[in-house]
Every structure is written in structure tokens, then in C-alpha cells.
């Protein structure tokens, strides 16, 4: 499983970003606090690249949240073997890397937010799997 350590709590804190322009499209203001605890370790649920930004699906308080990957330091050597790459919408430069069962569900994150029972069941099972194998 992948662990990530929170290094920064906002985009404004990240040194040496090549460009903040892509972040301005999704984060306003750039000093928005993503509510993660600096120095804390989090389990990664998946990876998302959308609108030029690599984001992480993070397990925080038994819920899934998303945050820009630049806020975290990750150990990428432990990418789970049951995760799958899913090409994203609206174009091929967007993608997700997710647990296999969720990679088969269109718009899984929106359904998760909307508390779709089937998606919640899959997400909770994966959270349990991650927590029991780290």
C-alpha cells in the first residue's frame, strides 16, 4: 500500500513549482488549507490526473478526500498490484489509477459523494483492505 506524508498544507507553501497556473483553475486562493496535518501519514486510495494536476485520493478519518499530490511525499515503490489504470474523461491525458473493482465504475467518486450504496460498499471494503495490509 502507498503511504503519503503531508509536507505542505497549501499550494502557496510548495517551493519551486514550475507553474501555479494549473492550480489556479482548481484552488482559489492558493493558500487554501486542505485540512491535512503537516507531518501526518495517510493511506493513498488512488491517483487522479485531471486538468494538468496530479491528485491523490487520500483516506482521512475513514473518508476519501482528494488533494494535489505536490502537498505530499509518497513511497511509490508500493503501488498495489490490484490497482488498474483507467483513461479519463473528457480526454486521454486525464487518468485514474484505482483499485480494480472501482476502476470498473464510471464516475465512482461522484457516486461516492452522493452515497451510492454499491459504491460505498466497494470503497469501505477497499479501506478495510488497505488498513489491514499496511
Mean local confidence (pLDDT), 94-109: 91
Q: Are 36 and 9 in contact (CB under 8 A)?
A: yes
Collect all residues with Cβ–Cβ distance below 8 Å to 15 and sequence separation of at least 6.
Answer: none
Q: Are 36 and 60 in contact (CB under 8 A)?
A: yes
Q: How far is CA 78 from CA 29, 32, 74, 122, in A?
A: 33, 30, 10, 21
Q: How many Å apart are CA 85 and CA 34, to the nearest integer?
A: 26
What are the grid coordinates assigned to 104, written together? 470498473
Q: Are 11 and 30 in contact (CB under 8 A)?
A: yes
Please tell me the predicted confidence (pLDDT) of residue 38.
93
3-class state of residue 60 by DSSP: strand
The β-bridge relationship of strands 63-68 and 41-50 is unpaired
Please tell me the predicted confidence (pLDDT) of residue 92.
66
Mean local confidence (pLDDT), 82-88: 86
Mean local confidence (pLDDT), 100-119: 93
Whether the pLDDT of residue 89 is over 80: the answer is no
Query: In terms of pTM, does the model score above 0.85?
Result: yes
pLDDT for 22-81, tens place per residue? 887 778 777 777 889 999 999 999 999 887 889 999 999 889 999 999 999 987 777 888
Please tell me the predicted confidence (pLDDT) of residue 39.
95
Alpha helix positions (H), 1-134:
21-24, 100-103, 108-113, 117-132
Amino acid at each position: 500500500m502507498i503511504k503519503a506524508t503531508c509536507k505542505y498544507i497549501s499550494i502557496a507553501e510548495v517551493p519551486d513549482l514550475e507553474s501555479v497556473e494549473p492550480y489556479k483553475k482548481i484552488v482559489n486562493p492558493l493558500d487554501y488549507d486542505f485540512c491535512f496535518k503537516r507531518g501526518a501519514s495517510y493511506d493513498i486510495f488512488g491517483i487522479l490526473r485531471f486538468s494538468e494536476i496530479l491528485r491523490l485520493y487520500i483516506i482521512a478519518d475513514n473518508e476519501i478526500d482528494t488533494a494535489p499530490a505536490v502537498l505530499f511525499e509518497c513511497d511509490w515503490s508500493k503501488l498495489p498490484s490490484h490497482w488498474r489504470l483507467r483513461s479519463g474523461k473528457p480526454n486521454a491525458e486525464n487518468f485514474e489509477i484505482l483499485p480494480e473493482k472501482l476502476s470498473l465504475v464510471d464516475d465512482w467518486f461522484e457516486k461516492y459523494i452522493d452515497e451510492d450504496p454499491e459504491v460505498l460498499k466497494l470503497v469501505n471494503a477497499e479501506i478495510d483492505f488497505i488498513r489491514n495490509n499496511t
